[in-house]
């Protein structure tokens, strides 16, 4: 197939790839709808022999515990990576993880997908894994350098050249794929323009854009020589675990199997596919299969007919279906949502049957507790913590007066505004989340972190993360039919809000606020669960990490636009 071109062309550019750059608010409610070693000996072999006699050496010449001990010592600052007390270079432990997605916060974000790609990778790195993210370069990110590495890829009927940019932040290699299909269309880091000229309208070339991303992502671990980490250096190599996210990256396992594995490349590499929102599947006209440059035997994995019970005329291709069938394991962002996806066509959005065959694992998302920390939040004028959770008396009085003076008044701002989102969640007492479905949901966690009680629908991750009467209020599950609002659902919103208002200002309310703020909502717990799943895939060289003591400090220069 012509598609083997990518691997061949990429290898021609490896010589180019050496790279080392050192590089209470006026409304009490906020409602947001959003929807690892290389063992290298110097002349101190007697010490090495001593180690060998003390420990059972593994195939790479190091006993796991020894490696971990040294790693931990380095983390505590007891030794530097260039200090080799035992004549052993240790390049790391754990797994080599490559996350691929169309969004990665803070560089690009339209919602929770960007947040997850921003937060989970540093948490995995904190646990001792070598971690890379690959996403498009939508803008001239000022903190991401040109590696000078070019890769040629066959996309559609053309050969396209992409350039790889890189920065190293919070223990993670952030790789950005530069191509006019991304930058020339978007020129910005956030907003609906990532996917189309305006919200709800897709770019015609989206399939080609995402083919390009998947193909480039499969080259990066083999061509990028990255040396910024204290613990790791050189190429990631082939024993990696790819984590593909949502339908845009569903072709990654297909290209891995059609281009690389037949050529003996990435023999032990595995792919985990994570569903953040099954509502978006990448359904296209069947003839578009030709655009993808995949062998015909992949057709059944893509083959799809709209309308489960009443099939609609005309076959389609379905990217997410192929991603699910061709990956080594499927994850989603909460256990309850995983169960909902298996429950039937309505919640499984017609992929429930496929998921029942493959199985799916739900792990609740964490949140970035550094970005969302009311004690240090740069977007709010008065910082606070659990001991100062209450508003000023004067303002509380003004609030009461506002309600009396302007009954039934509220403000609605339909804009993507990060500072405002922080201010609303920090300033509000309640956040109403009336989701018809919610795979995990981050705003309820951001609210709880800020001491703002969620009043939420009982669906998906909201069930897993909000405890009735303890950390918030549940309204019950809503109809998933989007064409009309069910009056029963509207009544449930009203009655639950009334119930929450009765608690407002009481000792029970203050206890709930304390309960919310006392929780560890960070990525630490979820990252351990992710590690367990990814280790079980058995990519060569995969080992458990360590217990990360803390997530690395927030990078000084975090947001990156010209
Ligand atoms: N007007 C606005 N201005 C600025 N920022 C705004 C905003 N409205 C929302 N945000 C921010 O965008 C993010 C929204 O994340 P969510 O997880 O709640 O939903 P989303 O549907 O995007 O994510 C999907 O993927 C995530 C990640 O897996 C799942 O948690 C979720 O259930 C699934 O639907 C939060 O960081 C929030 O603060």
The 10s digit of each residue's pLDDT in 24-76 is 222 233 333 222 222 222 222 222 232 333 333 333 333 334 444 545 544 54
Q: Are residues 63 and 157 both part of a single domain? A: no
If asked whether residues 412 and 358 sit together in one domain, one would say no
User: What pLDDT was estimated at residue 408?
Assistant: 78
Cα-trace Rg, the chain: 25
Mean pLDDT computed over every residue of the chain:
81
Residues with Cβ within 8 Å of residue 424, at least 6 apart in sequence? 25, 30, 32
Report the pLDDT averaged over residues 315-319.
95
Smallest Cα–Cα separation from 32: which of 464, 441, 520? 441
**Predicted local distance difference test score (pLDDT) of residue 481:** 78
Q: Alpha-carbon distance 71 to 60, whole Å?
A: 16
The domain total for the chain is 3
* Residues 54 and 186 reside in one and the same domain: no
pLDDT for residue 60 = 35
Q: Is there an atom of ligand 1 within 6 Å of 438 CB?
A: yes
Do 108 and 224 lie in one domain? The reply is yes
Q: If you take atom 21 of ligand 1, which residue's CA is the nearest one?
A: 35
pLDDT band (50, 70, 90) for residue 168: very high
Shared domain for 349 and 411, answered yes or no, is no
Question: pLDDT at position 374, please?
Answer: 81
**Do 102 and 146 fall within a single domain?**
yes
Q: Looking at residue 11, what is its pLDDT?
A: 28
Do the beta carbons of residue 383 and residue 350 sit within 8 Å? no
In a domain, 83, yes or no: no
Can you tell me the distance from the alpha carbon of 291 to that of 63, in angstroms, rounded to the nearest whole number?
48
Lowest mean pLDDT among 37-41, 181-185, 190-194: 37-41
Q: Which of 497, 518, 539 is the C-terminal boundary of a domain?
A: 518
CATH number, position 478: 3.40.50.2000
Task: Assign 197 a pLDDT band (cuts: 50, 70, 90).
Answer: confident
Number of the ligand 1 atom closest to the C-alpha atom of 438: 32
CA-proximal residue: ligand 1, atom 9 (nearest): 34
pLDDT of 189 strictly over 90? no
Classify residue 297: in a domain, yes or no: yes
The mean per-residue pLDDT over the stretch 154-176 comes to: 96
Distance 26 CA to ligand 1 centre (A): 23
- Choose among 529, 19, 11, 530: nearest CA to 229: 19
Probe residue for ligand 1, chosen from 337, 377, 441, 452 as the CB with the greatest number of ligand atoms within 8 Å: 441
* Percent of the chain residues past pLDDT 90, beyond the cut: 60
Residue nearest to atom 25 of ligand 1 (CA): 112
Residue 551 included in any domain = no
Q: Find out whether the beta carbon of 427 lies less than 6 Å from any atom of ligand 1.
A: no
Long-range contacts of 310-318 (CB under 8 A, 24+ apart): 314/285, 314/286, 315/286, 316/283, 316/284, 316/285, 316/286, 317/283, 317/284, 317/285, 317/286, 317/288, 317/289, 317/292, 318/281, 318/282, 318/283, 318/351
- Per the model's pLDDT, the better-predicted residue between 60 and 345 turns out to be 345
Give the other-Cβ count within 10 Å of 101's Cβ.
Answer: 24
Q: What is the mean pLDDT of residues 74-81?
A: 43
For residue 186, is it within any domain? yes
35 lines ligand 1 (CB under 6 A): yes
Whether 260 is in a domain gets the answer yes
User: Ligand 1 center to residue 505 CA distance, Å?
Assistant: 29
State the DSSP code for 229.
-
* Closest ligand 1 atom, residue 460 Cα: 32
Regarding whether 254 and 343 lie in a shared domain, the answer is: yes
Task: Give the domain extent around 269.
Answer: 2-23+96-366
Based on the domain organization, do 489 and 342 belong to the same domain? no
Cα(420) to ligand 1 centroid in Å equals: 14
Pairing of strands 29-31, 430-433: parallel
Per the domain annotation, does 378 fall within a domain? no
Any atom of ligand 1 within 6 Å of the Cβ of 111? yes
Question: Is there a domain that residue 451 lies in?
Answer: yes
pLDDT tens, 85-141? Answer: 333 333 447 999 999 999 999 899 888 999 999 999 999 999 999 999 999 999 888
pLDDT of residue 392: 56
Give me the mean pLDDT over the 224-228 stretch: 95
Q: Assess whether the C-beta atom of 279 lies below 6 angstroms from ligand 1.
A: no
**SS3 of residue 164 by DSSP:** strand
Residues 272-280 have a mean pLDDT of: 97
Instruction: Looking at the structure, tell me whether residues 137 and 106 fall in a common domain.
Output: yes
Q: Is 112 in the pocket of ligand 1 (CB under 6 A)?
A: yes
421 lines ligand 1 (CB under 6 A): yes
* Three-state DSSP class for residue 254: helix
> Are residues 305 and 414 located together in one domain of the fold?
no
The DSSP secondary-structure symbol of 258 reads I
Task: Summarize pLDDT for 432-475 with one digit per residue, the tens.
Answer: 999 999 999 999 999 999 999 999 999 999 999 999 999 999 99
pLDDT of residue 394: 64
pLDDT band at 409 (very low <50, low <70, confident <90, very high): confident
**Span 228-247, pLDDT tens digits:** 988 899 999 999 999 999 99
Pairwise CA distance, residues 384 & 372, whole Å = 12
Distance 452 CA to ligand 1 centre (A): 16
Residue ranges with strand state E in 249-398:
270-275, 283-285, 303-304, 316-318, 329-332, 361-362
The protein residue with its alpha carbon nearest to ligand 1, atom 19, reads 112
pLDDT at 14 over 70: no
| Domain's final residue, options 299, 334, 366 | 366
- CB–CB of 64/58 below 8 Å? yes
Query: Does the pLDDT value for residue 13 go beyond 90?
Result: no
Residues 443 and 115: their CA atoms lie apart, in Å, by 11
Residue nearest to atom 1 of ligand 1 (CA): 416
Q: Is the beta carbon of 365 within 6 A of some atom in ligand 1?
A: yes
**Closest CA to ligand 1's atom 27:** 112
Residue 34 lies in a domain: no
Query: Cα(558) to centroid of ligand 1, in Å?
Result: 19
Q: Does 53 share its domain with 127?
A: no
Q: What is the pLDDT of residues 481-520, one digit of tens each?
A: 777 789 999 999 999 999 999 999 999 999 999 999 999 9
Of ligand 1's listed atoms, the one at least distance from the Cα of 415 is: 1
How far is residue 185 from each of residues 192, 195, 199, 219, measured CA to CA in Å?
11, 9, 14, 23
Same domain, 479 and 395: yes
> Atom 23 in ligand 1: which residue has the minimum CA distance?
112
Distance, C-alpha 93 to centroid of its chain: 22
Is the C-beta atom of 446 inside 6 A of ligand 1? yes
Quick one: average pLDDT of 167-177?
95
Using 50, 70 and 90 to split pLDDT, how confident is the model at 309? Answer: low
pLDDT of amino acid 113: 96
Return the best residue to mutate from 33, 34, 101, 431 for the ligand 1 pocket (most ligand atoms within 8 A of CB): 34
């Amino acid at each position: 197939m012509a598609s083997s071109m990518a691997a061949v062309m990429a290898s021609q550019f490896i010589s180019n790839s050496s790279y080392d750059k050192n590089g209470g608010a006026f409304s009490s409610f906020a409602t947001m709808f959003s929807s690892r070693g290389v063992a290298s000996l110097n002349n101190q072999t007697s010490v090495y022999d001593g180690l060998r006699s003390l420990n059972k050496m593994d195939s790479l010449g190091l006993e796991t515990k020894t490696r971990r001990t040294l790693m931990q010592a380095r983390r505590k600052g007891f030794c530097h990576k260039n200090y080799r007390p035992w004549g052993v270079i240790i390049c790391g432990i754990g797994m080599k993880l490559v996350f691929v997605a169309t969004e990665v916060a803070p560089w690009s974000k339209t919602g929770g997908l960007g947040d997850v790609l921003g937060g989970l990778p540093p948490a995995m790195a904190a646990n001792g894994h070598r971690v890379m993210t690959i996403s498009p370069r939508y803008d001239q990110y000022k903190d991401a350098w040109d590696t000078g590495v070019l890769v040629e890829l066959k996309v559609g009927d053309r050969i396209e050249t992409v350039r790889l940019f890189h920065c190293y932040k919070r223990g993670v290699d952030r790789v950005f794929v530069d191509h006019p299909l991304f930058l020339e269309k978007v020129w910005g880091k956030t907003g609906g323009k990532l996917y189309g000229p305006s919200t709800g309208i897709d770019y015609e070339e989206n399939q080609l854009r995402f083919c390009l991303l998947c193909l480039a992502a499969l080259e990066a671990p083999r061509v990028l020589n990255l040396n910024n980490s204290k613990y790791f250096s050189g190429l990631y190599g082939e024993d990696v675990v790819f984590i593909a996210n949502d339908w845009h990256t569903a072709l990654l396992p297909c290209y891995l199997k059609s281009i690389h594995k037949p050529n003996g490349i990435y023999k032990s590499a595995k792919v985990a596919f994570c569903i953040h929102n099954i509502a978006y599947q990448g359904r296209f006209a069947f003839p578009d299969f030709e655009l993808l440059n995949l062998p015909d035997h992949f057709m059944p994995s893509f083959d799809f007919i709209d309308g489960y019970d009443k099939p609609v005329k005309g076959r389609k291709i379905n990217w997410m279906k192929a991603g699910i069938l061709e990956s080594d394991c499927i994850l989603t962002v909460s256990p309850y949502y995983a169960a909902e996806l298996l429950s039937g066509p309505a919640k499984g959005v017609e992929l429930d049957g496929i998921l029942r065959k493959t199985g799916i694992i739900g792990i609740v998302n964490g949140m970035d507790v550094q970005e969302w920390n009311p004690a240090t939040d740069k977007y709010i004028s008065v910082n606070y913590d659990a001991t100062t959770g209450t508003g000023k008396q004067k303002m509380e009085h003004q609030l009461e007066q506002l309600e009396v003076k302007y009954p039934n008044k509220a403000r609605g701002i339909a804009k993507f505004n990060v500072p405002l989102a922080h201010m609303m969640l920090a300033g509000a007492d309640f956040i109403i989340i009336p989701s018809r479905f919610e795979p995990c949901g981050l705003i309820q966690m951001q609210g709880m972190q800020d001491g703002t009680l969620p009043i939420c629908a009982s669906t998906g991750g909201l069930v897993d993360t909000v405890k009735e009467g303890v950390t918030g209020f549940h309204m019950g599950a809503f109809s998933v039919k989007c064409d009309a609002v069910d009056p029963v659902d509207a009544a449930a919103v009203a009655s639950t809000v009334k119930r929450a208002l009765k608690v407002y200002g009481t000792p029970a309310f203050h206890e709930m606020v304390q309960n919310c703020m006392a929780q560890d909502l960070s990525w630490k717990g979820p990252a351990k669960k992710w590690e367990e799943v990814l280790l079980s895939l058995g990519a060569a060289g995969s080992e458990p990490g360590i217990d990360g003591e803390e997530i690395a400090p927030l990078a000084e220069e975090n947001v990156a636009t010209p």
